[in-house]
Chains A and B, each alone.
Chain A
Amino acid sequence: MPSQSVPYRLDPSRVRSEFIRLLPISLFVVAFGAAFGLAAVQTGIIPLEVTLMSAAVFAGASQFAALELWGDQVALLPLVAITFAINSRHILMGASLYPMLRDLPVGQRYGILLVLTDANWAVAAQDYQNGHRNLEVILGGGAVLWIAWLVGTLLGVYFGGLIQDPASLGMDMVLGCFLLAMALGGRKSPRVLLAWVVAAGAAMVAYWWLPPHTHVVAGALAGGAVGYFWLEKTPA
């Protein structure tokens, strides 16, 4: 496990190569962005503001959820609660990167977190499990995902959905399959497998019986607890 504390310098050429690396998955993000753009204009939001929302919020699931609250008015408390609940996974994702982030200057540390999202984080987390420090993918991968989300939103706003029925082509599973591939590409040990079983169980319990959108945090914390109590033997 890399735990040395040497200053981390973002390498511009690696930022570019991580941008390219996440280009394929970004093409699918364009399709989801288009679905959001279309849904948002159909809800009655003007194009400029739809685009602004995608650029500034950059968190698809919570943006779709906001549309569900739309009417002549939007109730503030549910808006805050749902946005926070859906995006609270970012807190855990960011925390897991802290052993690397603490070696970056503060400005860069919070700067690259502006584009932290599921896909680029999953790559960074997998690389870290395999012993590589890769914050370049947060910046480079995040940039290409952000551009894709914005381009997709614009296409959806002005040209409608790109694909008639994305689910019939399995397109809705792209991110799920991507995240699963990243999870399985990391290191596996009896300890990690137990954590996954506990995480899966806790996630389902939360999904069925706790308030909506709490299952990710519940499962992740339960899985983390396994790591807290079961320490890996440190190599001598």
Chain B
Amino acid sequence: MSIETTSTGVLMIIAVMTFVTLLTRFGGPFLMSYVTISPRIESFINTMASSVLIAILTPMAVEGDWGARAALGTTALLMLTLRKPLPAIAGGILAAGLVRYWLA
């Protein structure tokens, strides 16, 4: 089944995407309202939370170019030493720019 990309068709496509995305935004808390939050479940969602970030970032580093790796490496190093996000993020972006400039 397909939707024509006419003016009304595109509105339908937007509606479908909005609905599906809304389901994902509402789905987690909705499902959790049926779960009893035992210490075990709380431990699960707490470790899951930071694991979401790791799961987003790992392929970026593994499959990314040297600029991406330099960015993430620099941010990690600065964050662990300075414990301040802004310089860590700025340093990471700078590192990506420099590495890509040298390798270009």
A interacts with B: yes
Known: A94-B28, A125-B53, A220-B52. 11 other contacts (CB 8 A): A53-B17, A59-B21, A90-B27, A95-B45, A95-B48, A174-B89, A199-B58, A200-B58, A215-B55, A215-B59, A216-B55
If A73-B2, A92-B28, A181-B79 touch, does A219 touch B54 (CB 8 Å cutoff)?
Answer: yes
- Contact call A80/B20, Cβ cutoff below 8 A: yes
Q: Are A228 and B54 in contact (CB under 8 A)?
A: no
Within 8 A of A (CB), among B50-67: 50-60, 62-63, 67
Which residues does B use to contact A, with CB under 8 Å?
1-5, 7, 9-11, 13-18, 20-29, 31-33, 37, 39-60, 62-63, 67-68, 71-72, 75-76, 79-80, 83, 85-86, 88-89, 92-97, 100-101, 104
Contacts of A102 in B (CB 8 A): 29, 32-33
Q: In the complex, A114→B40 CA distance in Å? A: 28
- State the Cβ distance, B52 to closest chain A Cβ, in Å: 4
Main secondary structure, interface of B, reads: helix
The 0/1 profile, CB within 8 Å of B marked 1, for residues 166-185 of chain A is 01111111101111111111
With the chains together, A174 CA to B31 CA distance in Å?
Answer: 32
Residue from the set A53, A74, A77 with the largest chain B CB neighbour count within 10 Å: A74
A6 within 8 A of B: no
Q: Do A227 and B10 have beta carbons less than 8 Å apart?
A: no
Given contacts A170-B71, A170-B97, A191-B47, contact A184 B5 (CB under 8 A): no
Instruction: Identify whether the interface residues of A are mostly helix, strand, loop, or mixed.
Output: helix
Query: A125 CA to B93 CA in the complex, in Å?
Result: 23
